[in-house]
Every structure is written in C-alpha cells, then in structure tokens.
Amino acid sequence: EEAEDGAEDGPRAGAEDEEDEEGDEGVAARFLALERALSEELRALPPPGPPVATVYAPLEYAWEPHCDFVRRYCRGPKAVLFLGMNPGPFGMAQTGVPVGEAWHVREWLRVTGAVLKPPQEHPKRPVLGLRCPRAEVS
C-alpha cells in the first residue's frame, strides 16, 4: 500500500507509525515557523538599491507550494546537509521550492499550490509558477 502523499513507499505499519507522522508534522511546522520569522526580519531590511531593481521573495508569493514541499519532505531526521543553493529565476523564484525547476517540482515531487504574482517583476523574468516552461540551468 502506498502512502497517501506519495512521499514514501511501502506498507504502512500501525499506531507507532502514526505517532511518528505526527512528530514529523511538528518538525515541518517548526521549520515553516522559523522561515516565517526569518522572512519577517529580511522584510525589515532596506531595499538594496542600484544596480538592483527587482528582488523576488518566493516565500511570500509562492508560500503554498513551499509549504506543500516542506510538509512532504521535511519529515523526520535526514542524512542530508544543504551547503548552498542557487534558487535561480526559473527555479525557486517560480515555485517556492529550492531544489528544482517547475517541471520537476510539479511532476516528480508532486508539489501543488497557488503561486501569486510578486509585487514587482523584472520584465524578462515573469513569475509563471508551476506552469513555467523554462528550465533552471544553474
């Protein structure tokens, strides 16, 4: 039997697994709360100014798919360390998910959610969300 959210394969055990899942949801909730707090602090910084004309904040306009990603994949301890990421204009800037372009986020990770328009867009980098056709080459 496959898990409902598609995040794990294999049979589901009994109540012990249910307790682990509740704990996992707590991990995701705490992670999302930390991200919100850090976003608030970033929002308080002055804008960078010239030559920077446009700043994208995908955790504000793509919060829904970002939350779906975190709730699916930030579950319990992982043997993974992210040292750095380049979100890129056709990656996280489109989807709110820091590890891939729209096709992979939508089709492979099965992340869903509404992506709103940011308050300001660069004319050559419009936000199309999960339907963005461009690949992130970085």
Tens-place pLDDT, residues 41-95? 999 999 999 999 999 999 999 999 999 999 998 887 777 665 556 678 899 999 9
Q: Tell me the whole-structure pTM to 2 decimals.
A: 0.76
* Domain range annotation of the chain: 19-108
As a whole number of angstroms, the distance between CA 117 and CA 68 comes to: 18
**Tokens standing for 103?**
């096709």
CB 118, CB 127: distance < 8 Å: yes
CB 76, CB 27: distance < 8 Å: yes
**Tokens standing for 125?**
């980098």
Q: Write down the mean pLDDT value for the chain.
A: 81
The residue type of 5 is D
Instruction: Please give the class, per CATH, of domain 19-108.
Output: alpha beta
As a whole number of angstroms, the distance between CA 38 and CA 35 comes to: 5
Q: What contacts 51, CB < 8 A, 6 or more positions away?
A: none
CA 112 to the chain's CA centroid:
10
